[in-house]
Amino acid sequence: MNRIDKKFMDLQEKDKKAFIAFITAGDPDIKATEQLCIAFEDAGVDIIEIGIPFSDPLADGPTIQLSSERALRNNISLEDIFRCVCRIRRRTQIPLVLMTYYNPVFRYGELRFISRAEETGVDGIIVPDLPPEEGKNLIKLARNADISTIFFISPTTTKDRMKTIVKVSTGFIYYVALTGVTGARDKIASDIATHVKTIKQLTNKPVCVGFGISTPAHVKNICNFADGAIVGSAIIKQIEAFSKKYNDMINKVSEFVKGLAKPA
């Protein structure tokens, strides 16, 4: 049982839901990534999703695209990120998930990627542009290393396709709350609960909702019917806003995250 599975078991026992925070590794620099991850645990975050910067992030909207650009200008590498995860792991046992597109994994090598993830303390991976049929080898390697493979279900996913995805997903299932890219939204779709209910009829695995979740009210709403809420762009906006006041950034962003995490 890895840290993600244990976290959901612990939350279920306490009748609580998971709050998952996304940040881009290396934005504004790798030191900040490490400090934010440590601070987020104290702010009430249950799982941290660390985005690996990529030049063509097809699932991400402008906010996360720009965060990737900022990180890439810092010449951030996969090795930098793995070393950062290793340092974080020395200080906390909070579950850590890497969100990456397939190209960096392919260039690095699947076996090498999973081996490095295992030895540094990664608990799960999300690869949005890798369908399960094309990811069989990566899934097998990850399972052998006790690393969860988390796949997306969207509003347009058919029920037959859902059955395939819930079978190969471990850790949790990521429900994409909208038909579009990531980005903070004023409102969330009214049919999310219906879609989550459909998924839950097919599996006992946790279902968490992301994309467009931006406010404490959104998080509270999602946690009424899902097993967790995922917030990314709204947090990235705070990091960007305070990046020029580096000494204040960790505290300011953590306070913002604490307000989001409380409803979960």
Which of 216, 245, 255 has its CA nearest to residue 19?
216
Domains of the chain: 3-261 (3.20.20.70)
Helices and strands of the chain, counted as H and E runs: 12, 9
pLDDT at 183: 45
Is residue 38 within 8 Å of residue 91, measured between CB atoms?
A: yes
What is the C-alpha separation between 209 and 202, in angstroms, rounded? 16
pLDDT at 188: 67
Question: How do residues 171-203 score in pLDDT, each as one tens digit?
Answer: 999 999 876 545 445 566 678 999 999 999 999
Task: Return the active site residues.
Answer: 49, 60
C-alpha dihedral (181, 186, 188, 190), degrees to nearest 10: -140
Round the average pLDDT of the chain to a whole number and report it. Answer: 93
Question: How do residues 226-263 score in pLDDT, each as one tens digit?
Answer: 999 999 999 999 999 998 777 799 999 999 999 999 87
pLDDT at 259: 96
pLDDT at 186: 52
